[in-house]
Structure 1
Amino acid sequence: MQTNLADFIRGTADGDEADAILRKCVHCGFCTATCPTYQLLGDELDGPRGRIYLMKQMFEGAPVTRSTQLHLDRCLTCRNCESTCPSGVQYGKLVEIGRKVVEEKVERPMRQRLQRRLLASFLPNSTLFTPAMKLGQQFRGILPRKLRAKIPLPERPLAAPTNKHERKMLMLAGCVQPAMMPNVNTATARVFDALGIEIVTAPGAGCCGAIRLHLGYNDDALDDVRNNIDAWWPYVENGVEAIVMNASGCGATVKEYAHLLRNDPAYSAKAQKIVDLTRDLAEILPMYEEELVALARRRGVHTVAFHPPCTLQHGQQIRGRVEHLLTALGLEVRLPADSHLCCGSAGTYSVLQPKLSYTLRNQKLDRLEKLEPQMIVSANVGCIAHLQSGTSTPVTHWIQLLEHLLYG
Structure 2
Amino acid sequence: MFTVSSEIGRLRQVLLHRPDLELLRLTPANKDDLLFDEVLWAKRARQEHDVFADALRERGVQVHYLADLLAEILKIDDARAQVLDHTASEAALGPTLAGPVRAVLDDMDPQTLTRHLIGGLTKAELGLAVHNLLLSAVDDGDFVLAPLPNHLFTRDPSAWIYGGVTLHPMAKAARRRETVHLGAVYRHHPMFTGDGLPVWYPGTDFALPSLEGGDVHVLGDGVVLIGMSERTTPQAVELLARRLFTAGAAREVIAARLPRRRAFMHLDTVMTMVDRDTFTVYPELPPLRSYSLTPGNDHGLEVLVHENESLFPAIARALGLSRVHVLTADQDIRAAEREQWDDGDNVLALEPGVVVAYERNVTTNTMLRRNGIEVITIPGGELGRGRGGPRCMSCPLQRDEVTPMKEATP
TM-score, normalised via structure 1 length: 0.28
Quick check: which one's strand share is greater? 2
Q: TM-score, normalised by structure 2?
A: 0.28
- Asked which structure has the greater RCO (Cα within 8 Å, sep 6+), the reply is 2
